[in-house]
Amino acid sequence: MSKDIPEKIARLLDDFATLSELIELIEHEMEKRIVARHALVKIEGVLLLLARYKNAIRINKFSGSTKTVQQLDALIARLRNDYQGSVMETGRDTMAAHALQLDLLRVVEAWQFLGRSMFQILGEDLVEIAAELVSLDFGYKPVEHVSLDPKMQRIWRQDNFLGDPNQSRFATIYPGLGTAGIASPLPTMAQVQENAIRAVGLLTFMRQTRILAELSEEGTSLRRIFSEIMLNDLVAFWELLFTSHVPNEHGEVDDCVLDHWTQQGWRGATCLRELKKHPPEGFEEWRTKIRNKYTAHIDADADLHGWDLTSWPMTADRLMNECGRIANEFARCCGMDSRSKMLCRPPTPIRGIVGLTGQEGKHWNDS
């Protein structure tokens, strides 16, 4: 059996429980889904590791008997059926681990599908799987769950954090059409504009996650989870800015933001080219050793201690500071051309507006 599989599964299950609790604590519709994306990475990791763990239990505990693991097999199959091939899997590939180009309506569908009903179904699946693992293997030890501080909700309502959760806002995010209470520019047929919206959307995700993370304490699972989300978004953001020829769902390749700006003569291209020269120190190690093995993808053979922030090649504070630096530099580049400047705005309250009409956005509790 691969290294520490029972411990890794227990960690992933507890992370999903923490994310579910966090989402219920967050009152802001956009931020709920920004966080919810990361739970899909946890589900995919659980499915990967459960197949190996089930076989190890069958062989090592019950001399290869398949009958003893039939119930576990059925529970795994149910979880896989609930997740694989669904829009959730699409959401994980395009919004949680990467920033792949996808048709707008499919992105909106995946974004809207992130909701309370879906999380309740997946949560119930995982609770039953955990109980079955305990009954089959005395060596399986669930992680002792630490509940979140409900006081965070009151602080997030303050204007210097997220503000009034009932206030309509302007925000540039790719699935803005599917977010209740959010007015957002729609992508056009122009690829340069669509890529700019995707980039600003990732910048928005990083910014809002960083605000939420301000209340997380050092050494907690919540601090680590926020750091995982920010690392995934930072790598996806950097790749979107500077990596061309990435295949999309139609088998076509897409140019990066820098190439689009250069080809279209956008004034921020030179600024962006300069930013490319200054990635975070050790960034490739961040990407290959942490993001590719623990935070966006789960490597069954990677050491368990790699999940702990203390073993990362950078601290959580340094990661957040680098996200802020790169976001600020990108915003400065956007400000050099009116076409990018109008897109690159932080989430902003729309004063005097009670609600938005003619919008396809769903509330979390309605999904």
Taking CA atoms, 121 is separated from 39, 130, 184, 362, in Å, by 13, 15, 30, 18
Task: Please check whether residue 295 is in contact with residue 313, taking contact to mean a CB–CB distance below 8 angstroms.
Answer: no
* CA–CA gap between residue 39 and residue 45 (Å, rounded): 10
For residues 173 and 357, which has the higher predicted lDDT (pLDDT)? 173
pLDDT, mean of residues 172-191: 82
Q: Which candidate, 162, 161, 309, places its Cα nearest to that of 230?
A: 309
pLDDT, mean of residues 274-290: 96
> What pTM does this model have?
0.93
Rounded to 10 deg, the angle between the 316-334 and 221-242 helix axes is 30
129-181, pLDDT tens digit by residue?
999 999 999 889 999 999 999 999 999 999 999 999 999 999 998 887 788 88
pLDDT, mean of residues 120-130: 95
The phi and psi torsions of 349 (rounded to 5 degrees) equal -60, 140
* CA–CA gap between residue 49 and residue 15 (Å, rounded): 15
pLDDT, mean of residues 327-337: 97
* CA–CA gap between residue 173 and residue 362 (Å, rounded): 15
What pLDDT sits at residue 186? Answer: 79
What pLDDT sits at residue 344? Answer: 94
What pLDDT sits at residue 90? Answer: 63
46-99, pLDDT tens digit by residue?
999 999 999 899 888 877 777 888 999 999 999 998 887 666 666 655 665 555
pLDDT, mean of residues 301-318: 93
Task: Please check whether residue 333 is in contact with residue 271, taking contact to mean a CB–CB distance below 8 angstroms.
Answer: yes
Please calculate the CA angle 154-318-344 and round it to the nearest 5 degrees. Answer: 65
For residues 366 and 220, which has the higher predicted lDDT (pLDDT)? 220
Taking all residues of the chain, what is their mean pLDDT, rounded to a whole number?
A: 88
Q: 354 pLDDT exceeds 60?
A: no
Domain spans of the chain, in order of start: 5-366
In which element (H, E) is residue 70 found?
helix 70-83
What pLDDT sits at residue 359? Answer: 53
What pLDDT sits at residue 104? Answer: 66
Q: 286 pLDDT exceeds 80?
A: yes
Q: 123 pLDDT exceeds 90?
A: yes
Percentage of residues of the chain with pLDDT beyond 70: 89
* CA–CA gap between residue 259 and residue 266 (Å, rounded): 10
For residues 184 and 225, which has the higher predicted lDDT (pLDDT)? 225
Residues in Cβ contact with 42 at an 8 Å cutoff, skipping those fewer than 6 apart: 12, 15, 16, 19
What pLDDT sits at residue 251? Answer: 61
**Ramachandran assignment for 118, one of left (phi > 0), alpha (psi -120 to 50 degrees), beta (any other):** alpha
* CA–CA gap between residue 204 and residue 162 (Å, rounded): 12
pLDDT, mean of residues 301-306: 90
The DSSP bridge partners found for residue 169 are: 182, 349
Q: Which candidate, 79, 82, 98, 80, places its Cα nearest to that of 37?
A: 98
225-269, pLDDT tens digit by residue?
999 999 999 999 999 999 987 766 556 678 899 999 999 999 999
What pLDDT sits at residue 208? Answer: 97
